[in-house]
Amino acid sequence: MRAAVSIGLTVVATAVAMVALGDNAYPWVKAVHVIAIISWMAGMLYLPRLFIYHCEADKGSKQSETFKVMERRLLQVIINPAMVVSWVLGLWLAWTAGYFNQGWFHAKLMLVLALSGVHGYFSAAVRAFAHDRNTKSARHWRIVNEVPTLLMIGIVVLVIVRPF
């Protein structure tokens, strides 16, 4: 539901920006894309850190219940809507600028798809923690914690340096 509302609002806001700003819409849409990416990444970097602390809390404890609320809100209020906005605006930018036949963009898209897969993995983990069914160790989440960082570095280098 929240994802559908995010897509709807983003499409409407982008359409309004295109009509109101004409040729000047591109940099504005790019600015909102970068703001959405910052929000998405902030959540993707913080959520596995919560999982590490959550593993160390006893099941049924007050602390564990607090982590459940923090994880659910972070996912539903920040991470999911930010991912939707990033995708919608990123694809609009690529379509407008004609990047779909460029090598750096294909590579960026592969890494962003991988990041979206990690996002799905984290969503499943939030559900598992919510039902006290997490089976992974704190060490596992410490290692997984580095994956969004590495993907982010690759994506930013590809879109800014455009090595090929």
| Nearest approach, Cβ of residue 8 and ligand HEM (Å) | 18
**CB of 137 within 8 A of CB of 41?**
no
> Which lies closer to ligand HEM via its Cβ, residue 51 or residue 99?
99
| Nearest approach, Cβ of residue 87 and ligand HEM (Å) | 4
Other beta carbons within 10 Å of 53: 15
Task: Give the max Cα distance, the chain.
Answer: 56
Here the tokens at position 44 are: 């993707």
Here the tokens at position 125 are: 């983990």
| Nearest approach, Cβ of residue 83 and ligand HEM (Å) | 7
> Which lies closer to ligand HEM via its Cβ, residue 34 or residue 138?
34
Report how far residue 42's alpha carbon sits from residue 90's, in angstroms, rounded to the nearest whole number.
Answer: 18
Length of the chain counted residue by residue: 164
> Which lies closer to ligand HEM via its Cβ, residue 107 or residue 125?
107
> Which lies closer to ligand HEM via its Cβ, residue 99 or residue 129?
99
Which residue has the closest beta carbon to ligand HEM?
90
Q: Pick from 79, 163, 84, 43: which is nearest to 155 by CA? A: 163
| Nearest approach, Cβ of residue 91 and ligand HEM (Å) | 5
Residues interacting with ligand HEM, by CB under 6 A? 30, 33-34, 37, 41, 86-87, 90-91, 93-94, 97, 99, 112, 115, 152, 155-156, 159-160
